[in-house]
Structure 1
């Protein structure tokens, strides 16, 4: 039985996609602007530390958001399977708005003492919890809104939204740094991007309230909403494990291409920070364009074909791409390599993003996505830049991260063998 629900509220497909994905875009927008202003935040909220420790403490506060992401995914995913996708998505965007507001309006250490970094830390915990819970209900609602032959295309926009958030965050942060004097950025300019995030959240919340609920509960349903987490870890534990490792290749690839590669170009290849920012925007735009195209292909040619083809291509091309960049370090080669690899990342993530939830029953679907995508992205993906940097430091080989990506793609091809492809079939 399909859970497709036609919109009674009069929202068009574009409105449904925009309302659903705005939270994901806001999550990665916040992620990007914090990383851009980590130095200023460190100076203002940890003034007693050395410059190096200021930065490390600021990044440490940033990192706690990743620690609670899996918890948010599980808790809010289970809530979405119990109370409905719509309620969960309204909750997450409210929490994101609260997080942006807390950071934008936080008093500095000079004003509030130890309370200042505590406020920022609390905001990052809230943001990480909400971000972890955003992706499962959002992807689930998109899939359930779509027809049997457009599910991958609809789901692809939730991944495209991550790229849009990254590109927008980088663009806003760059404008603030270019248009304002350095001292003004330190004193108040860094708050502007967070204030813009506050504005976006209420608009998204209002649109989301108009969405139709796609979770329809029947008395004959075998799996009750209250047992979503238990069912995912018992009845569907095999699917949960296979799905997590099937996501591994895409999670590692996207964090290496979008986050590690620009900084690697500065540290190891001695390119300018401006070049790194430019390549980051290029890769984000490539992801944004390639994601819906990957969705169209996955709907037409099947999830597995697009997934396997993209993953094998990444496995074969990532080393030559890094080698080319090492031999000819320039803004052009960095942007070309980033763009090509980003397209292959989209081809990996989008098919499996829709393939896994299609295999979960409706009352386990949001929780299932949280336990596969969010956990994979938080642990395998989130630690990838650190592991890649460690490999370079230990081996002295700037091409070592390419072998790491290739190994992740190879490992994550194996579980795909046991996953059923339900392209074009009705949802359970």
Structure 2
């Protein structure tokens, strides 16, 4: 099936991976860009509020994207199981381009009044919906294009794309801030990174149109008749439940290490904002490199072995890593800790990422991924920085987030016991 799909599409494995993962990279690029320019957006679109409330309102509009991500995952995942992975992926990247365009060309409050923040809010809702729907069909298509002995490696690139998008976003934001005067950035320079997002989308859309559909006619008919969402929540409810909690450790770990830790270093350890940006880039690039390596290892040594070893090492090392950084805060140590933790974050996310679609039948596979990975990442992962910050404030202990990560890893080890490992097996 995999070699036949590649032959029909006329694409190399590299082109298939690039076409499939571009939307995921664009999602996290947009995620990073917005967070870097939240202050400028707050000033231009919420001018009547105080500086603090401007920032909070801007972040609040950003946060609504997380709220609709599960909805997008379920709706577009079900669409992918009914109409095909290719159609769903073309739809999501079109929606992402639209969201970038809305923000890039949004009129400010001075021009359009209350309509201005409404445009930004609409853009974030569209982007969150599309982002939630991107991961399921993309991972499903990669798994179905791969051979029996390369599924984890193929699937790993969709997670690697998230890290690449984060790194590119940080680099582009830094270049804009360094290259342009501050007043220009505050006025219109912040729009430039969003324009880049618009141009990237049509390229990915054109490549995606050449992909060969991997959903066969019989399963598609089955999905239309019975409903992929209903099947995932009834026939496959146990797997959906186990998969969601198996993803818990990875979702919490990646948001704490990649997002919370750099900001924590500035607020609590009093390192410079530059140190935060650099460590974020280091963490993202480490995830990008480590993900395909984890995929290779999971194909060779089984998914469960790589997952359990990585999760146990992270569980045991996260508190000492936080302790050393708190005792000797420096940009060098921050980068070293970020890179070290990122290796084992990738080692636990990639195996689960391929185990779940291997266990769901083809006709509900994209929906199954949406209900496990996207829901877990949105709720458990997305709220992790907020929870970690709350724990630090309540306890006064800067090391408390490490215990939170360790607990999440411990809890998510349990459902792995009941998940079947299908390394090297044929899937339908």
TM-score, normalised by the number of residues in structure 2: 0.98
Residue deviations 1:96-145, cap 9 Å, x none? 00000000000000000000000000000000000000000000000000
Give the drift of 1:222.
6.3
Give the drift of 1:227.
1.3
Match of 1:82 in 2: 82
Give the drift of 1:4.
7.0
Number of aligned positions between the proteins: 428
Give structure 1 stretches of 5+ with no counterpart: none
SS in 2 for 1:95: helix
Match of 2:94 in 1: 94
Q: Distance in 2 between matches of 1:198 and 1:371?
A: 28
Q: Distance in 1 between matches of 2:6 and 2:144?
A: 10
Give the drift of 1:330.
0.1
Q: Distance in 1 between matches of 2:194 and 2:6?
A: 35
Give the drift of 1:9.
2.4
Match of 1:283 in 2: 283
Match of 1:49 in 2: 49
Residue deviations 1:137-159, cap 9 Å, x none? 00000000000000000000000
Match of 1:166 in 2: 166
Match of 2:61 in 1: 61
CA contact (8 A) 1:224 1:363 kept: no
The alpha-carbon distance between structure 1 residues 28 and 67, as it changes in their structure 2 partners (threshold 3 A), is same
Match of 1:35 in 2: 35
Q: Distance in 2 between matches of 1:25 and 1:212?
A: 21
Q: Distance in 2 between matches of 1:289 and 1:4?
A: 29
Q: Distance in 2 between matches of 1:415 and 1:329?
A: 36
Match of 2:12 in 1: 12
Q: Distance in 2 between matches of 1:383 and 1:349?
A: 18
CA contact (8 A) 1:136 1:366 kept: yes
CA contact (8 A) 1:268 1:398 kept: yes
Q: Distance in 1 between matches of 2:305 and 2:87?
A: 35
CA contact (8 A) 1:3 1:215 kept: no
Moved over 6 A (4+): 1-4, 219-222
Match of 1:370 in 2: 370
Q: Distance in 1 between matches of 2:138 and 2:279?
A: 28
SS in 2 for 1:47: coil
Q: Distance in 1 between matches of 2:122 and 2:181?
A: 29
Q: Distance in 2 between matches of 1:70 and 1:227?
A: 18
SS in 2 for 1:420: coil
Residue deviations 1:149-187, cap 9 Å, x none? 000000000000000000000000011011111100010
Give the drift of 1:217.
1.9
The alpha-carbon distance between structure 1 residues 12 and 2, as it changes in their structure 2 partners (threshold 3 A), is closer
The alpha-carbon distance between structure 1 residues 224 and 426, as it changes in their structure 2 partners (threshold 3 A), is farther
Q: Distance in 2 between matches of 1:373 and 1:277?
A: 27
Q: Distance in 2 between matches of 1:112 and 1:169?
A: 28
SS in 1 for 2:349: helix
Match of 2:354 in 1: 354
Match of 1:209 in 2: 209
Match of 2:186 in 1: 186
1:407 has 2:384 as partner = no
Please tell me the root mean square deviation across aligned C-alpha atoms, in Å. Answer: 1.3
Q: Distance in 2 between matches of 1:9 and 1:387?
A: 45
Give the drift of 1:19.
0.1
Match of 2:118 in 1: 118
CA contact (8 A) 1:82 1:226 kept: no
TM-score, normalised by the number of residues in structure 1: 0.98
Q: Distance in 1 between matches of 2:47 and 2:81?
A: 45
CA contact (8 A) 1:252 1:405 kept: yes
CA contact (8 A) 2:82 2:223 kept: no
Q: Distance in 1 between matches of 2:66 and 2:4?
A: 32
Match of 1:231 in 2: 231
**After the TM superposition, which of the residue ranges 219-228 and 203-212 deviates more from structure 2?**
219-228
1:142 has 2:142 as partner = yes
Alignment of 1:248-327 (within 5 A): 248-327=248-327
Give structure 2 stretches of 5+ with no counterpart: none
SS in 1 for 2:9: coil
Q: Distance in 2 between matches of 1:362 and 1:4?
A: 17
CA contact (8 A) 1:3 1:216 kept: no
Residue deviations 1:372-423, cap 9 Å, x none? 0000000000000000000100000000000000000000000000000000
